[in-house]
Amino acid sequence: MIKFGTASITHQNGELDESIIAAIARQVAALHADYNMVLVSSGAVAAGKKYLPQYSGTISERKAAAAIGNPLLLNKYAQYFQPYNIAIAQSLCERRHFSNRSQFLQLKKTYEELWANNIIPVANENDVVSDLELKFSDNDELATLIAVGFGASGLLFSTSVGGVLDKEGKVVPQIELIDEAIFALADTRKSSLGLGGMVSKLTFARLATRMGIRVVIFGIHTTDGILNALAGTTGTLCLPQECSMPARKKWLASGSLVTGRLQVDAGAQKALEQRHSLLAVGVKAILEKFTRGEVIEIVNEQHEAIAVARAKVSSDVLAGNKKAQNVEIAHADDIVLL
């Protein structure tokens, strides 16, 4: 799984940098025989907005720019992969494709069919129709959800810099744990072309490493950056943590769309940590309503998120049975600790 941001593959004026796309094609072609690969590529909005003379960045203008830019972007990838006899496929994703388990499995089956025919999917958000409230935060999130959901061994984030930089501006070669000290190193400025930034990459790198995925944040302008990042000889390597979570729980923890929130007491928190189910008696407050089958976030008495779960009952049913000890809100198999 390799994610390319807008700033990585475009010039400052938003034009696609064909030398970068050519380099991507060359390096990915060298890896193609040994890996099932997905490319997540931004750049559609940047490529299309020049065709809108009065472009000012409104939502409708961004959607229009994406509609123009997506075929331009894919045509360039197709052009530079063609000499290696590699075909590519466009995959426009929406948030609901990951929040609905059956839709996600259909997406996975489609990718497997593409791989079986030696075709590389190039994924991007379906900006043209995506609902504002259900959008991915950026393509760093999309890449992470695909990587986690598909059980990827590695996730590469390309940047316009060399990796995570320390206070002296030098690349941090390895990170064992992404904590507040690491986030403090991140430049909070975003590119003028893209939505993400280093904070975004670290946020989703933390999620991926928690799910056992090796992450490298590397500079796209580094010679053979993709090949060297995969080898661990360039950029910042974020070490994976041990994770024995089954695929369904990984999907629940990373891909599900949280629609409700509950606050639980200390006793319920302890029970959850011991892998028990959540019962109504341990719920202190319904913070956001939900219906049966939806995914909810569970917070403790300090309002810290401690788990996500699939609800067995609605918040309305819970409200009428809060003191009933035997009402099960979420079964242990449907709860993932964060």
Domains of the chain, residue spans:
2-247, 257-337
DSSP 3-state of 270: helix
In eight-state DSSP terms, residue 165 is B
Task: Kindly give the interhelix angle for 198-210 and 139-149, rounded to the nearest 10 degrees.
Answer: 10
Q: 2-247 domain in CATH 3.40.309.10?
A: no
Instruction: For strands 278-279 and 328-330, give the pairing.
Output: antiparallel
Predicted confidence at residue 79, as pLDDT, reads 97
Measured at the CA of 149, the angle between CA 147 and CA 152, to 5 degrees, comes to 40
Measured at the CA of 62, the angle between CA 101 and CA 49, to 5 degrees, comes to 130
- Cα–Cα distance between 65 and 25 in angstroms, integer? 24
DSSP 3-state of 184: coil
- Cα–Cα distance between 256 and 297 in angstroms, integer? 10
Predicted confidence at residue 91, as pLDDT, reads 93
Predicted confidence at residue 139, as pLDDT, reads 85
Predicted confidence at residue 322, as pLDDT, reads 59
Those residues of the chain that have pLDDT short of 50 are 132-134, 190-196
Predicted confidence at residue 203, as pLDDT, reads 85
Q: Is residue 68 within 8 Å of 133, Cβ to Cβ?
A: no
Predicted confidence at residue 194, as pLDDT, reads 43
pTM value surpassing 0.95: no
Predicted confidence at residue 191, as pLDDT, reads 45
- The string of pLDDT tens digits covering residues 6-31 is 888 988 777 889 999 999 999 999 99
- The string of pLDDT tens digits covering residues 223-252 is 999 999 999 999 999 999 888 777 777 777
Q: Is residue 163 within 8 Å of 218, Cβ to Cβ?
A: yes
**Domain 257-337 belongs to what topology?**
2.30.130
